[in-house]
Copies of this chain bind each other. A is one copy, B any other.
Amino acid sequence: MILTVTLNAALDITYSVPSLVPGTTHRVRKVSQRAGGKGINVARVLHQLGLPVLATGLAGGLAIDLPHSFAPLSASSRRTVTVVDGGGATLLNEPGPEVSSAEWLRFVDHFRILAREATVVVLSGSLPPGVPLDAYAALVSLVDCPTIVDASGSALSHALAARPDVVKPNADELLEVTGHRSPQAGAAALVRSGARAVVASLGPEGLVAVTESESWQLAPPAFLAGNPTGAGDACVAGIAAGLHSGASWPSLLREAVALSAAAVLHPVAGGFDPSAYEQLHATLPEARKAL
């Protein structure tokens, strides 16, 4: 099974209002909510693809609508509030709950057991307060199967020492961690720092995969109008699906680009449009070798 790890799970609440006007009172017409956090979102895409998946991590008081085995927290998981109006989406993200060192160590033991059954392990998102900065390195070092890390800042840079199989930054995250504006140069720097491969997501320009010896590139067919929230998680799901089936780089990238694009075309963040996915998967060109 594909094991996804979400250390800072969240209750994602979405409010619909006609117009968000600071300083005024709004009657919310529609409320929707569900468990979120990047690893849970990745698991949801994999589950929708019909692949065997288990979501794990640290959570307090969340109802998770997916196969899951989370370690409990005494504090409640954070909430994220998204206010959607005619002008777009406004996000309010709470900080995570304080995790005690006993809770972290209990999770590490729990993870070690779950990881034995995993074909791929996906580690996604921010670290809540109290979890050590090298948490991803610690977890990667416990795993025998391929690992993917989707993180930013110090959580990402500390992960590299454990040599994860794939890290998936976007262009901003690459710039922040490596100082390189060129994604190719930034990805190569992360490979030199320990990543076995880097898949950089570049929005409408698609994906660039860089390993020690080769580089591949694949872009979606044209500019896609839609909702880019969740495209990164769909991309990670595509990479995980590719590693799970032992795919080549070109077919892994095809899967990841088709899923990200189908997520952009889906009106609600966190899902993907299955028919757009089928069509893109069938019609995308072959990834081209860049090096």
Using CB atoms and an 8 Å cutoff, list the residues of chain A in contact with chain B: 13, 15, 17, 20-29, 31, 79, 81, 83, 85, 87-95
The complex is assembled from copies of this chain, and their number is 2
Residue contacts A-B, CB under 8 angstroms, 9 given: A13-B79, A15-B81, A20-B22, A20-B90, A22-B88, A23-B90, A24-B91, A28-B93, A28-B95
**A87: which B residues are within 8 A, CB to CB?**
22-23
Tell me whether chain A's interface is mostly helix, strand or loop, or mixed: strand
| B90 engages A27 (CB within 8 Å) | no
Q: Which residues on the B side are within 8 Å of A22 (C-beta)?
A: 20-22, 83, 85, 87-88, 90
Is A89 within 8 A of B15, CB to CB?
A: no
- Are A88 and B23 neighbours in the complex by a CB distance under 8 Å? yes
Residues in B whose Cβ lies below 8 Å from that of A94: 15, 28, 31
Give 13 new A-B contacts, CB below 8 A, not counting A26-B91, A28-B95. Answer: A20-B22, A22-B22, A22-B83, A23-B88, A23-B90, A24-B91, A25-B90, A26-B90, A26-B92, A27-B93, A28-B93, A28-B94, A31-B94
Q: Which residues of B contact A17 (CB under 8 A)?
A: 92
Q: Which residues of B contact A92 (CB under 8 A)?
A: 15, 17, 26, 28, 81, 83
Q: A95: nearest residue on chain B (CB-CB)?
A: B28
Complexed CA–CA distance, A89 and B23 (Å): 5
Cβ contact within 8 Å between A91 and B25: yes
A26 to B88, CA, bound (A): 14
Closest 10 CB pairs of A and B: A25-B91, A23-B88, A20-B22, A22-B90, A26-B92, A28-B94, A31-B94, A28-B92, A15-B92, A23-B87
Write the chain B residue with the least CB distance to A24: B90
Give A25's nearest chain B residue, CB to CB.
B91
Give the residue name and chain of the B residue nearest to A81 (CB). Answer: B81
Asked whether A93 lies within 8 Å of B31 as measured between CB atoms, the reply is no
Cβ–Cβ < 8 Å partners of A85 in chain B: 22
Contacts of A29 in B (CB 8 A): 95
Which of A13, A17, A28, A95 has the most B CB atoms < 10 Å from its CB? A28
A236 to B24, CA, bound (A): 24
A95 touches B23 (CB 8 A): no
Chain B residues with CB below 8 A from A28, complex form: 92-95
A169→B90 CA distance, assembly (Å):
34
Contacts of A21 in B (CB 8 A): 22, 90
A30 to chain B, nearest CB (A): 9
